[in-house]
Amino acid sequence: MHPWNQPLLESLRRRIERLPHALLVHGAPGTGKLALAEHIARFLLCEATDPATRPCGSCDGCRWFAAGSHPDLRRVEPEALAREPVMEAEEGEAPARKAKPSTEIKVEQVRDLAGFLNLRSHRGKLRVALVHPAEDMNPNAANALLKGLEEPPAGAVFVLVSHRPARLLPTIRSRCVALPVPIPPREEALGWLSAQGARDPGRWLAYAGGAPRLALEYAGRADALDRLLKDPAPIVDRDELEALAEALQKIALDRAFTAFGLAPKYQTGHASAGPSEAYAWLSFARQMGQHRLLTRHPLNPKLFSAEMLAAMPR
């Protein structure tokens, strides 16, 4: 867990006797929400008697959690994020054609939770369901989870992680205790990035909007992002579509900020815009925000990227 999220865990530790049955850990991408949610799950499943020492790291519960095999923990994630190893085909077998992993949480995954949560705990403690990212549930999955939240089994705790809680059903949000994860102070984030060996941490922290984990990811592919920012061009790889839409959105926002006489927020390196261009760049930035959501769909990447570039204000 990251140091800037330690106060949030301490707040839960203080109310361990009246812990809610559902938590919604939410905030901007790259702030360490998943690491915090995993630490909360580990805290809940630790078998140390003194809450002040949890997670202890030495009990059976902590060891099983570290090994990814705790019987009282269930992760619900899209197939594309699954951590299970891919099984090798037996010798002599023709390799099966693999479908592209799903990027949504399906209703069958949520329904499988019912059997898990309604059984007795293997260790005589709580049972924890970690759902991440919660907004990736399809409508049927969201409705199935809502039923579990409305009538939670005794000893069951739901930990939902969300980048965009507004995309969740209001009825789901109303049945969870919100745990907002803020952007950490800049100096603290820069110190953490430097300790991780990130190059040019200030620049990539700005590009990430202050989110340290996202900045670390950007720093790791700095050369590719530099090319994308300096010379945006049509692309042929669908996996790069969202990166292009994000780059264009942040370029547009920086141009709009400078047109209003403000400093560029994302340090995209583009020239200042004139006051008359401000609203055109803001409109383009909103359009790119919508296109970022569309990049998950099976679109022709070359045509879609060309369409985005053609819409840039001139």
The residue ranges of every structural domain in the chain are 3-181, 221-310
Mind listing the pLDDT tens digit for each residue in 21-73? 999 999 999 999 999 999 999 999 999 988 888 899 999 999 999 999 999 99
What is 26-52 written as a DSSP string? EESTTSSHHHHHHHHHHHHH---S-GG
Give the CATH class of 3-181.
alpha beta
Share of the chain above pLDDT 90, in %: 70
Give the pLDDT score at 98.
58
Report residue 85's pLDDT band, with 50, 70 and 90 as the boundaries. Answer: very low
Q: Which residues contact 295 (CB under 8 A, 6 or more apart)?
A: 238, 241, 242, 245, 304
Give the pLDDT score at 17.
66
Element (H, E) at 131: strand 127-131
In the predicted structure, residue 143 carries a pLDDT above the cut 80: yes
d(CA 137, CA 142): 6
Give the pLDDT score at 80.
82
In the predicted structure, residue 100 carries a pLDDT above the cut 60: yes
In the predicted structure, residue 254 carries a pLDDT above the cut 90: yes
Residue with tokens 């809502």: 146
pTM comes to: 0.85
Give the pLDDT score at 121.
81
In the predicted structure, residue 86 carries a pLDDT above the cut 50: no
Report residue 261's pLDDT band, with 50, 70 and 90 as the boundaries. Answer: very high
Report residue 99's pLDDT band, with 50, 70 and 90 as the boundaries. Answer: low
Mind listing the pLDDT tens digit for each residue in 206-225? 999 999 999 999 999 999 99
Amino acid at 123: R
Report residue 96's pLDDT band, with 50, 70 and 90 as the boundaries. Answer: low
In the predicted structure, residue 15 carries a pLDDT above the cut 80: no
d(CA 65, CA 169): 30
d(CA 148, CA 117): 9
Q: What is the mean pLDDT of the chain?
A: 90
In the predicted structure, residue 94 carries a pLDDT above the cut 80: no
Q: CA angle, 82 as apex, 79 and 88 as ends, to 5°?
A: 95
